[in-house]
Structures are given as C-alpha cells and as structure tokens.
Amino acid sequence: MSIRFIARWFPRPERKQEFLGVVAKLGAAFPPEVAAGIALLDPSFNRAGEFVVIEVWKGEALLNQLRESALFHDAIRAMTACCSRAPEVEILNPIGGDGSVFERYPAGRAAARCYPDTGATTVTCR
C-alpha cells in the first residue's frame, strides 16, 4: 500500500546549510531497494523558509525499512537540532483511498509512527 505525506521542517537560518548537508547525506545513503520505492520526493523551501518535502512511497514497507535504520535516526536527530521546532508531518489519503492511513497515523504527537523520537521534541502528525 502506498503512503503519501508532506513533511515540514523549520531550519534556523544560521543552520540552514548544515541542515541541507544532513539532508543530502541521508538522500545519498538510501539503499537502492529503498530508493526504488520512492514515487515522488519533492523537497522545496516555502516563503517562510520552511523546508517542505512532498513524499509518495510506492509501499509503506520500504519506507518503514528506511525508518528503522540507524542512518535515518541519526539524520532525523541532526536535522531537528538545526531547527527552531520539531517537524510536522501531514498524512494524505489519495482520492479513492479508504482512509485507513489516518488510523495508522492518527493526528497528534506521534513520533514513533512518523519519525524517531528526538529526545527533547516529538513530531506532530496532522
């Protein structure tokens, strides 16, 4: 089953380059089988300086494989350390979807389901 979401990060201007370096390192280290599971990965900055990534994964199992890796956990912690607040993840239900994705990823603080706990902050799913 595919999974779609928008991740919002809030890098501090003075740490923007460090943040982007961590993002680049993470992206370059995706195992080939995980990278093959990406249908869309579109990182951008909005007007407010937020780093917004639209992600569509062909299968949730491949995303979960990435989420379980030490590389991912280390990258999320390093990215969060560069930010003024914890990231937010907006889960999306495709047109024609049954809405079960919202049961798997309920709204609220859900670090364990979206991203690893970073210690001082947790991810908000909406």
Residue 59 belongs to a domain with what CATH number? 3.30.70.100
Q: Is the dihedral of CA 18, 20, 25, 29 positive or negative?
A: positive
- Quick one: which of 83, 87, 92, 84 has its CA closest to 116? 87
- Quick one: which of 65, 80, 2 has its CA closest to 32? 65
Give the count of domains, the chain. 1
pLDDT at 88: 87
Task: Indicate yes or no: pTM above 0.75.
Answer: yes
Tell me: the pLDDT tens digits for 89-126?
888 989 999 999 888 887 776 544 556 555 545 566 65
Q: Whole domain around residue 64: which residue ranges? A: 3-125
pLDDT at 126: 59
